[in-house]
Amino acid sequence: MIYFIINPLAGGGQGAAAGAKIREVLDPINFEYTICESEYPGHAVELARELSQKADCTGIVAVGGDGTFSEVLNGMDISTPLGLIPCGTGNDFASGAGISKDIAAALKAVISGNTAPMDYITVGDRRCLNITGTGFDVDILIREAKYRKKLKSKITYYLALFVTILSIRFRSLKAVIDDNTVIDRDILILVAANGRFFGGGMPMVPSAVTNDGVMDVLVVRKVPYIVIPKLLFCFLKGNIEKQTKYVDIYRCKKISCAVEGSTDIEVDGEVVSLLPAEIRIHSGELRVFCKESI
């Protein structure tokens, strides 16, 4: 039995429409499946935990945006095959992982029954599928959450970005990478990436690959304020990694980090209080439905 966990509110109602499309594709071929809908924040975690323990469960499929994917990942038994059908607002992980946004095409991967290994990250005991980080991106997300209560649009991210630029603050980071590289400096942002995109399509870490066994850690050092607009433009263009005068890139298995003061960390777009923490990549431990076996 394949269990679909759908967030009906994803993408401004696209999740509900996705449920109808899933039935339209699967019912004629007598595919054995059950659809469950999440009803409140965190419900997908509970559903994934419960459903993946069922004796007849042969896979869990998350239908929604990056937040739904993250909730399902954090609830499910990690040995259970996972399907991903993106229908959220940003769909950042799907964009970086090459997962089709066409529901019928995405369903073909589930119908095939084939799986391929994929990496995921943990921040302490919290699982992360796409990107985790602290600093400038957390400030943006905190502001965006406030604006989103009044504006239901992608513009909330860019509005939050603009306001955050006007009130930049740097953090003092202490970190150890793979037990040998020490970082002790003020930073604008630290990002540990499995996926490439963030914030509705911004190529945050273009070099990141979801199944290469390492995470790409990007650190932007404290810079003169006049340089920040240039760096943001580089983020938008996907060439931030070339700015070696201000940016360090580490490809690693783990990083232990602490940030001075009261600072949160974002995990797949959700701001949480987990610092200090060990951030670690789990190489190929996740099995994801794909069209062809690898």
- The alpha carbon dihedral of 146, 147, 150, 153 has a sign of negative
- pLDDT tens per residue across span 72-111: 999 999 999 999 999 987 889 988 888 888 899 889 999 9
Architecture in CATH of 2-113: 3-Layer(aba) Sandwich (3.40)
DSSP letter string, 34-83? EEEE--STTHHHHHHHHHTTSTT--EEEEEESHHHHHHHHHHS-TTS-EE
- pLDDT tens per residue across span 26-76: 999 999 999 999 999 999 999 999 999 999 999 999 999 999 999 999 999
- Kindly indicate the confidence band of residue 224, based on its pLDDT and cuts at 50, 70 and 90: very high
The pLDDT of residue 119 is: 97
The pLDDT of residue 178 is: 96
Domain span(s) for CATH 2.60.200.40 in the chain: 128-281
160-174, 177-191, 225-239, 252-266, range with greatest mean pLDDT: 177-191
- Comparison of pLDDT for 161 and 104, the residue scoring more: 104
Given the candidates 1.10.10.10, 2.130.10.10, 2.60.200.40, 3.40.50.150, the CATH classification of the domain at 128-281 is 2.60.200.40
Residues 6+ apart with CB under 8 A from 11: 64, 65, 87, 88, 89
- The alpha carbon dihedral of 176, 180, 183, 188 has a sign of negative
- Kindly indicate the confidence band of residue 152, based on its pLDDT and cuts at 50, 70 and 90: low
The pLDDT of residue 293 is: 43
- pLDDT tens per residue across span 172-221: 999 999 999 999 999 999 999 999 998 778 888 999 999 999 999 999 99
* Cis amide linkage into residue 276, ω under 30° from 0: yes
The pLDDT of residue 110 is: 93
The pLDDT of residue 294 is: 36
Query: 181 in helix, strand or coil?
Result: strand
Domain span(s) for CATH 3.40.50.10330 in the chain: 2-113
Q: What is the reported pTM?
A: 0.90
